[in-house]
Amino acid sequence: MEDRYEILGKIAQGGLGSVYKARDVRMSRDVAIKRILIGDTSITDEATRQLIKEASALASLQHPNIVTIYDVGKDEEGPFVVMELLTGQTLEEIITKASFTWTDFRELAMQSLEALIAAQELHIVHRDIKPGNIMLTWLPSGKFQVKVVDFGLAKLSTKPSLQTIDQSDGVFGSIYFMGPEQFERIPIDQRVDLYALGCVFYYALTGTYAFDGENAIEVMASHLQHHVVPIENVRAGIPLWACNWIMWLINRQASDRPNSAREALQLFMQNDGAYFTPELSLGAPTPTAPAPTKRRKLQVPGVTPQPEVNPEPSPSVKIASVAQPLTPPPGSKPSVHLSAYSYQPPEMPAYEDPVVEIAEQTQVDTQVASEAEVHIQSISVNKPTRNAPTANLAKSTQGSLTTRTVTQTSGYTNPYAQPVRRPKKGMPDAVKVLIGVVIAIIVIIIIANF
pLDDT tens-digit series, residues 28-44: 999 999 886 655 555 56
Kindly tell me if the per-residue pLDDT of 12 is higher than 60.
Answer: yes
Tell me which of 177 and 36 has the higher pLDDT: 177
Kindly tell me if the per-residue pLDDT of 48 is higher than 80.
Answer: no
Contacts of 342 (CB under 8 A, 6+ apart): 103
CB of 188 within 8 A of CB of 163? yes
The overall average pLDDT reported for the chain is: 75
Residue 427 has what DSSP assignment? S
Is 128 designated active site? yes
**330-367 pLDDT tens trace:** 877 888 876 544 444 445 455 455 554 555 555 655 66
CB of 416 within 8 A of CB of 368? yes
**367-425 pLDDT tens trace:** 655 655 545 454 444 444 444 333 333 333 333 333 333 333 334 333 334 444 445 55
Kindly tell me if the per-residue pLDDT of 74 is higher than 90.
Answer: no
DSSP run (H or E) holding 355: helix 354-382
Instruction: Provide the 10 A C-beta neighbour count for residue 314.
Output: 5
Instruction: Provide the 10 A C-beta neighbour count for residue 320.
Output: 19
Residue 447 has what DSSP assignment? H
CB of 176 within 8 A of CB of 111? no
Q: Is 79 helix (H, G, I), strand (E, B) or coil?
A: strand
CB of 179 within 8 A of CB of 192? yes
Residues 161 and 187: their CA atoms lie apart, in Å, by 5
**217-262 pLDDT tens trace:** 999 999 999 999 999 999 999 999 999 999 999 999 999 999 999 9
Whole-number percent of the chain with pLDDT over 70:
62
Burial 202-232 (b: 16+ CB within 10 A, else e): bbbbbbbbbbebeeeeebbebbeeeebbebb
CB of 17 within 8 A of CB of 47? yes
pLDDT of residue 445: 87
Tell me which of 389 and 308 has the higher pLDDT: 308
Among 104, 128, 193, 365, the active-site one is: 128
DSSP run (H or E) holding 252: none
Residue 211: band (very low, low, confident or very high) from pLDDT cuts 50, 70, 90: very high
pLDDT of residue 69: 87
Kindly tell me if the per-residue pLDDT of 203 is higher than 90.
Answer: yes
pLDDT of residue 304: 65
Residue 94 has what DSSP assignment? H
**314-325 pLDDT tens trace:** 445 677 778 888
Kindly tell me if the per-residue pLDDT of 93 is higher than 70.
Answer: yes
Residues 88 and 151: their CA atoms lie apart, in Å, by 18
pLDDT of residue 324: 84
Instruction: Provide the 10 A C-beta neighbour count for residue 60.
Output: 16
Kindly tell me if the per-residue pLDDT of 144 is higher than 70.
Answer: yes
